[in-house]
Amino acid sequence: MTGQTPALRLEGIVKTFPGVRALDGVSFSVMPGEVHALMGENGAGKSTLMKVLGGIYQPDAGQILIEEAPTVMASPLEAKAKGVVFIHQELSLADELSVAENVYLGELPRKSFGRVDWDRLYADTERILDRLKVGFTPQTLVGDLSIANKQMVEIARALTVDAKAVIFDEPTASLTDAEKDVLFEVIADLKARNVGIIYISHRMEEIFRITDRVSVLRDGQHTGTAITADTNEEAVTQMMIGRKLDLSRNVAHHELGDVALEVRNLSCGHLYKDVSFKIRRGEVVGFYGLVGAGRTEIAETLFGLRDPSAGQILLDGQALRITSPTDAIERGISLVPEDRKGQGLVLGMNCRDNMTLPQVDDLKAGPFVAEGAEVAIFDQYRDRLDIRTPGWKQLVGNLSGGNQQKIVIGKWLSMHPNVLIVDEPTRGIDVGSKSEIHNLIRDLAAQGYAVIVISSEMPEVLHVADRIYALFQGRITREFTSEDVTEDSLVRAISGLADNGGAQVA
């Protein structure tokens, strides 16, 4: 690759926010036709670097060069015009508009009198959607799509222009394996067209599957670049967190208590049907299935966000109706939601207040909120979860994606619930903190909490769960214990395929 001119080069980029030096002289380059991984812990500065490149932030110092020509990216539009396309970590779509309008947002094809050229818009979008092999039409309302499909719309945007470089910021966080395969085909296709690709992800297996080189950021500094084929997970992790990580499986068994929560023949419209399961105190139960298998909807029912159409919920052996989240919280059920930006956080509020939001009522000193107690809770979970923020006063909207996730988790942990439901707890979380969160879940169980972990990452459920329920199209298809589970049978169970062995759930 030497001798070639890079498609894109960044030199000595510095970017500071009040209280944070997010980027501290980062240099980085992508060759045409190269897939370059950008890795680093939550808050290392990956998204910030890409936003500088995409014209969203202006660097305090440093230079951007496109094919070795110095450039200024004054706005996202300018970046796009110069061939740099940015696919955002957090979805950036307008729900009330059609897929086509979102794909061409900001550059709708024009006819006379400023009219939209609908025919061309739909035809062009159709062509891109065909390439992505998605099952929806250009006319579909984006608000009606699942999170995964929304992500595909976001990806479709990258294919609208003749890009020199495409930035993918954690594109697979909410994709199923099949959708991931399609994405990787798209990336291979772009690569074949000599586009330079920057790929940000916390998932090692993806990095080693599709990338050519890996660059690592740590605390806003570039700690190294390696050729992917010449390195391994351990080495990359060490570059990221500066130490070795113990990734051994840690299901330390302890005595289980009584059944904390039992669900009998629960159904909710066509979302899920006839779901029955139990969970004991001290147990971690995994709900494993593809996106859309009904896992999240079951959790939302338990948390009082949906009314079931049939079935029973028993808490400590008592049948009851959970009518609202307030009700659920009072009974000791907590949910860490899947969509942190939409459901878990008040982005315009500071870190501390977000974390103590569900319990401000209990933290009163006379008629006032007990600020000291709030800060104490925040400090405790910041240390425990290693949340990177200059202080509790920082607005949550200014944290990196992974650190936002940690705030949500801290929020519910600090409530000491009896039953804790975590939906995709480590989506977008770096490897170091991931194992920290896994340990935390195990600790909670050891202390007698019942924990439900919803996940679409197999290593995760295998790693933390004592028992695993496999879901397929709204039904529980199999139940596994940590002894009898195998990767193969799990995959079969969540794809609706028959299998021998393991306990079949009627």
Partner 1 sequence: MQAGTLSTFLKRGAIWGFILFELIFFSVAGAFLSLSDKAFMDLDNMLRLFKQSAPIGIIAMGMTIIMINGNIDLSVGATFALCAIVLLDSLTWPIFAGLGDWVIPVSWALALLTGVLLGAINGLIVWKTGVDAFIVTLGSMLGYRGLVFMYNGEQPTSHLNWTLVDFAETQFLGLHTATWFLLAVTLVIWFLMTRTIHGRNAYAIGDNREAAVNAGIRVGPHMMINFMIIGFLAALSAVVFYSESGSVNPNDGELYELWIITAVVLGGTKLTGGAGSVISTFGGVLAIQLLRKGLGHIGADTSTVNLVIGLILIAVLYLDRQLNRKGAEELKI
Q: Which residues bind partner 1 (CB under 8 A)?
A: 56, 75-78, 80, 86, 88, 92-97, 101-102, 105-108, 110, 113-116, 144, 268-271, 300, 304-307, 309, 324
Residues facing residue 13 across a β-bridge: 26
Give the residue from 135, 468, 462, 95 showing the smallest Cα distance to 295: 468
Q: Which of 113/368 has CB closer to partner 1? A: 113
Contacts of the segment 439-443: beta carbons below 8 A, 24+ positions apart? 439/250, 440/384, 440/385, 440/409, 440/413, 441/284, 442/250, 442/251, 442/252, 442/284
Are 287 and 302 in contact by the 8 Å Cβ rule? The answer is no
Structure tokens that stand for 8 in this block: 């894109």
Kindly indicate which of the ranges 46-54, 309-317, 335-343, 413-421 contains the residues binding ligand ATP, using the contact rule CB under 6 A: 46-54
Residue with the shortest CB distance to Mg ion? 47
Q: What does the DSSP assignment read for 144-192?
A: GS-HHHHHHHHHHHHTSS--SEEEEESTTTT--HHHHHHHHHHHHHHHH
- Cβ distance to ligand ATP smaller for residue 433 or 482: 433
Q: Which is closer to partner 1, CB of 90 or CB of 219?
A: 90
Residue 46 sits in the site that holds ligand ATP (CB under 6 A): yes
Residues 6 or more apart whose CB falls under 8 angstroms from that of 234 comprise 244
| Whole-number Cα distances in Å, 317 to 9, 64, 312, 347 | 62, 63, 11, 38
Interaction of residue 334 with ligand ATP, rule CB under 6 A: no
Taking the least distance from each CB to Mg ion, the nearer of 40 and 410 is: 40
Q: Of 161 and 491, which has the nearer Cβ to partner 1?
A: 161
- Residue of 20, 26, 40, 47 interacting with Mg ion (CB under 5 A): 47
- Quick one: which segment of 122-130, 315-323, 353-361, 392-400 binds Mg ion (CB under 5 A)? 392-400
- Number of Cβ within 10 Å of residue 24's Cβ equals 17
Looking at the Cβ atoms of 20 and 260, the one nearer to ligand ATP is 20
Q: Which does 176 bind (CB under 5 to 8 A by kind): ligand ATP, Mg ion, partner 1, none?
A: none
**Token output for 380:** 């405790």
Residue nearer to partner 1 on the CB measure, 75 or 504: 75
Q: What is the CA radius of gyration of the chain?
A: 24
Closest CB to ligand ATP among 81 and 346?
Answer: 346
352, containing H or E segment: helix 351-356
Which of Mg ion, ligand ATP, partner 1, none is residue 43 near (CB under 5 to 8 Å by kind)?
ligand ATP
From ligand ATP, partner 1, Mg ion, none, interface partner of 42 (C-beta below 5 to 8 A by class) = ligand ATP
CB distance 76 to 56 below 8 Å:
yes
Residue 403 CB, shortest distance to ligand ATP, in Å, is 6
Out of 102, 125, 172, 403, which residue is the one contacting ligand ATP (CB under 6 A)?
403
Size of residue set near ligand ATP by CB under 6 A? 21
Question: Which residues lie below 8 Å from residue 230, measured CB to CB, with a gap of 6+?
Answer: none
**Residue whose CB is less far from Mg ion, 344 or 474:** 344
Residues 165-204 that bind Mg ion (CB under 5 A): none
Identity of the residue, 75 or 486, whose beta carbon is nearer to partner 1 in the bound complex = 75
Stretch that binds ligand ATP, among 290-298, 318-326, 397-405, 497-505 (CB under 6 A): 397-405
Task: Output DSSP code: residue 306.
Answer: S
- Residues 2-31 touching ligand ATP, rule: CB under 6 A, are 17, 20, 22
Please choose which of ligand ATP, partner 1, Mg ion, none residue 40 contacts, taking the beta carbon within 5 to 8 angstroms, the exact cut-off set by kind: ligand ATP
40 binds ligand ATP (CB under 6 A): yes
The CB density around residue 83, as the number of other CB atoms within 10 Å, is 18
Binds 48: which of ligand ATP, Mg ion, partner 1, none (CB < 5-8 Å by kind): ligand ATP
Whole-number Cα distances in Å, 367 to 360, 361, 362, 363, 370: 11, 10, 11, 10, 9
Alpha helices, H only, 194-294: 204-210, 233-241
- What the block records as the tokens of 323 is 């009518």
With binding defined as CB under 6 A, does residue 388 bind ligand ATP? yes
State the minimum distance, in angstroms, from the CB of residue 395 to ligand ATP: 8
Could you identify the residue written with the tokens 């992505």?
132
- The answer to whether 12 and 65 have CB atoms below 8 angstroms apart is no
- Specify the residue, 86 or 480, whose C-beta has the smaller distance to partner 1: 86
CA–chain centroid gap for 239, Å, is 22
42 binds ligand ATP (CB under 6 A): yes
Range in contact with ligand ATP (rule: CB under 6 A) among 113-121, 247-255, 282-290, 394-402: 394-402
Which of ligand ATP, partner 1, Mg ion, none is residue 486 near (CB under 5 to 8 Å by kind)? none
Q: Assess contact for 329 and 388: CB atoms under 8 A.
A: no
SS3 state at 269 = coil
Q: How far apart, in Å, are the Cα atoms of 407 and each of 302, 400, 403, 448?
A: 22, 11, 6, 23
One of 32, 45, 282, 337 touching ligand ATP (CB under 6 A): 45
Closest-CA residue to 74 (of 52, 107, 50): 52
Interface residue with Mg ion among 401, 417, 432, 474 (CB under 5 A) is 401
In the bound complex, what is the minimum distance in angstroms from residue 404's beta carbon to partner 1?
15
Residue numbers at the binding site for ligand ATP (CB under 6 A): 17, 20, 22, 40, 42-48, 89, 388-389, 398-403, 430
Residue numbers at the binding site for Mg ion (CB under 5 A): 47, 89, 400-401
